[in-house]
Structure 1
Amino acid sequence: MSDRQHHVEAPGPSEVRSPLVQHELKRASVWFALAIAVALIVLLAQPLMLVMGALVLATMMDGGTRLLGRVLPIGRGWRLAIVLIGAVAFLAYTFYLTGSNLAAQAQAMRTIVETQVTRIGGWMQQLGVTTTPDDLKSLASQAMNSMGRVTAAVGTAVGAITSAVMMLVLAIFIAIEPKLYERGVAWMLPMEARGHFYSIADKMGWTLRRLMFGRIIGMTVEGVGTWLLLWAGGVPMAGLLGILTGLFAFLPNIGSIISGILIVLVGFSAGVDTGLYAFGVYLAVQIVDGYLIVPMVAKRATDLAPALVLGAQILFGALFGLIGLFLADPIVAMIKVYLEERSKALEAKAGARPPQGSDA
């Protein structure tokens, strides 16, 4: 028998069954899958943000249904229907009573803001700053036009309405039976990972309910408080400013800055004393919300650093537009919950593992 027959041939690096080739193929497949995932996220930015918005809306509906269940021992479907009908009735009643006044005030506010911006531009030119009011307007328009992919996709009125309806319908379906969809996601995971998934999902749901509850309370306090205090001080368009302040309160940091600018501009249009009073009202409302409402409700659940939230808003606003601004806070809160729960699971696993060198 020849020496070649006695020698056992080993696979070369050109063969797929070579350990080296298999190892490199696994590494390449991981990077290839990661690249595909990033590309899909970029291409599917609009539906992903709409789904995320639906989850946030469903969380708000679920929170209202749970609260109603403490006083009404009826089925979940009936409680959810009451919450939805109550929300629609409140919005319809509010816009029915204030619709014509708000439309007139909105047109007047636009004129006032443009006039105030022109005055500020002229004052800056007197100080030697070359910025003109047209530059400020173009800067604002560029900021709005530079919003991300989702804003471009839903930029038209029809697109915005269609997206809102789709988001609302999806949120209602999820809120009707959230456990059904939770079990569906868990079914796609390995058996050993399902318990950890349920734990993370429950904590995320609890955190989002607390966050949204605090946000709604803050919006109500800021909107109603701003309206009553501005109305008592004789500030023009107190009702519209109150509604805008309440709506912008959904956006931490950025929303308060926008509402504050509007309040101050409209206040100073009626005189220096009125402007100073409006600025004082803005500070008082923000202090009450920042030091009483947020610490009592939302901060206990999330405890997010303001700089982290602001950075996330800038990033998500640039990537996904206005809807990214609205969803930056909930997304960061869910990421924080996932990282915390993941860290706890790893610590528990490391603690349960016997130390190396022991007889156990």
Structure 2
Amino acid sequence: MTRSEFFLRSVIFVAIALAPFLIWLLFNVIVLATGAVLVATLMHVVATPFAKLRLPRGVALALSGLLIASIIGGTFFVFGRTMAAEFHDVLRRAEETANAISAEISRAGLSDYLPSSFGENISVSGVIGHFFTVSTEAVLGGLVAFFAGVFLASEPKLYSEGFTLLFAPQWRKEARETLGHVATALRRWLLGQMIEMVTVGVMSGVAVWLIGLPSPIALGAISGLSEFIPYIGPILAIFPSVAVAATIGPYPMLWTILAYLAIHQLDGNMIMPLIQRQLVRVPPALMLISIATFGTLFGLGATIFAAPLTVVIYVAVIKLYLRDTLGEQTPLPGEKAQTPSPW
């Protein structure tokens, strides 16, 4: 072994050994990059119908951006004041429910069996307010991710080719192919998530409105947005609705629980499989373990981007390991399965 070969192998070994530490150290940068890629992917998804009309790419992207901005701005203009009042009402009713539960625990004498800190200085509004507090750093990070996503969407080939140049010439073909498969999977996953979020949000809002709960728009929005975190988010979204129903009476609370169970059974057994069959499917156990891992390692906020990061890792493993290394003909998102998939 020559000195240059020994030095190169030493550098590769040190880089592999330091990779986990660098991921931990630069996770905020990874989150920003993920946000930028999602913004670019969203713009591409919305621009696809315009591109099919044979409009220039720049015009299609501009129309995509205008359409997204119009939808967001129009939603806030029409429902913004109503949703703000309804979110405040949901928070107030959740606080009332928490206080009632705490009082019942004390009245039943169960507080002696609970930790001494339980129920002391705990405020639902304080906890939720702290969770949804938007810091200046988060706002700046969101702006960086947004504008970076716009630049990515406007010149994707520039950045994809720049990424492939980081690899040795003999690896650039595989890197380019992998990047293409990852981009396709993210587009299909994001489209599926958008369909599922809107569907579940509308069904939840209509259900609580029929039951007679106040603030149906806010409760529907909470249910829809929670679908962005697969499996775990929808479970957590049940609690605000149940807390609101508890302030009205036991029967509305029972009907709310049954309604959400029915909606999520319908979602899990019909809507989600139908969407995943047509778009992209990640094994549920793998997604759950991945979300739990990201949350444990990097905090609760990391679970928001755990799903798209899992899609990226999942596609990269299939392409680089199962296909290129083991020679398995495992289908990737957007491809028809020619042989049974091990997943």
Under TM normalisation by the shorter chain, which class is it? 0.7 to 0.9
Deviations 1:128-155 (A, max 9, x none): 363376269489989998x9xxx9xxx7
Q: 1:33 aligns with which of 15, 25, 49?
A: 15
Task: Say if 1:226 and 1:282, in contact at 8 Å, map to a contact too.
Answer: yes
Q: 2:74 aligns with which of 68, 89, 93?
A: 93
Deviations 1:216-253 (A, max 9, x none): 00110111111122112211111110111111111112
Larger Rg: 1
Under a length normalisation based on structure 1, what TM-score does the superposition of the two structures give?
A: 0.79
Q: 1:106 aligns with which of 87, 104, 107?
A: 87
| CA 135–322 in structure 1, closer or farther in 2 if over 3 Å, else same | same
Q: What is the aligned partner in structure 1 of residue 310 from structure 2?
A: 332
Task: Say if 2:292 and 2:303, in contact at 8 Å, map to a contact too.
Answer: yes
C-alpha deviation, 1:23, in angstroms: 8.6
Q: What is the aligned partner in structure 2 of residue 232 from structure 1?
A: 210
Task: Say if 2:92 and 2:125, in contact at 8 Å, map to a contact too.
Answer: no
Deviations 1:106-164 (A, max 9, x none): 2222221122122233444527363376269489989998x9xxx9xxx7532121111
- Aligned: 1:76 with 2:54: no
C-alpha deviation, 1:300, in angstroms: 5.2
Deviations 1:166-209 (A, max 9, x none): 10101111111212211111223223222212221121111111
| CA 101–144 in structure 1, closer or farther in 2 if over 3 Å, else same | closer
Cα distance in structure 1, aligned partners of 2:129 and 2:294: 14
C-alpha deviation, 1:332, in angstroms: 1.2
| CA 136–259 in structure 1, closer or farther in 2 if over 3 Å, else same | farther
For residues 105-144 of structure 1, the aligned pairs below 5 Å read 105-125=86-106, 126=108, 128=110, 130-131=113-114, 134=119, 137=122
Deviations 1:22-54 (A, max 9, x none): 998666544433344333333322122101221
Q: What is the aligned partner in structure 1 of residue 196 from structure 2?
A: 218
- Aligned: 1:289 with 2:267: yes
Cα distance in structure 1, aligned partners of 2:261 and 2:11: 55
Q: 2:33 aligns with which of 51, 71, 89?
A: 51
Q: 1:67 aligns with which of 49, 59, 65?
A: 49
Task: Say if 1:49 and 1:323, in contact at 8 Å, map to a contact too.
Answer: no
State the one-letter code of the partner of 1:67.
Answer: P
Q: What is the aligned partner in structure 1 of residue 325 from structure 2?
A: 346
Task: Say if 2:43 and 2:61, in contact at 8 Å, map to a contact too.
Answer: yes
**Shift >6 Å, 4+ stretches:** 20-27, 138-145
| CA 93–23 in structure 1, closer or farther in 2 if over 3 Å, else same | closer
Cα distance in structure 2, aligned partners of 1:135 and 1:203: 51
Q: How many aligned positions are there?
A: 323
Cα distance in structure 2, aligned partners of 1:37 and 1:246: 36
Under a length normalisation based on structure 2, what TM-score does the superposition of the two structures give?
A: 0.83
Task: Say if 1:225 and 1:285, in contact at 8 Å, map to a contact too.
Answer: yes
Cα distance in structure 1, aligned partners of 2:171 and 2:14: 24
Cα distance in structure 1, aligned partners of 2:274 and 2:217: 27
Unaligned runs of 5+ in 1: 1-18, 350-360
Comparing 158-167 with 293-302, greater Cα deviation is found at 293-302
Task: Say if 2:211 and 2:255, in contact at 8 Å, map to a contact too.
Answer: yes
- Aligned: 1:166 with 2:144: yes
C-alpha deviation, 1:273, in angstroms: 1.6
Q: What is the aligned partner in structure 1 of residue 338 from structure 2?
A: none
For residues 309-324 of structure 1, the aligned pairs below 5 Å read 309-324=287-302
State the one-letter code of the partner of 1:205.
Answer: A
Cα distance in structure 2, aligned partners of 1:223 and 1:56: 21
Q: What is the aligned partner in structure 2 of residue 268 from structure 1?
A: 246
C-alpha deviation, 1:281, in angstroms: 2.1
Among the aligned pairs, what percent are the same residue?
25
Three-state SS of the structure 2 residue aligned to 1:250 is: coil
Cα distance in structure 1, aligned partners of 2:158 and 2:51: 19
State the one-letter code of the partner of 2:214.
Answer: P
Q: What is the aligned partner in structure 1 of residue 281 from structure 2?
A: 303
Task: Say if 1:55 and 1:171, in contact at 8 Å, map to a contact too.
Answer: yes
Unaligned runs of 5+ in 2: 329-343
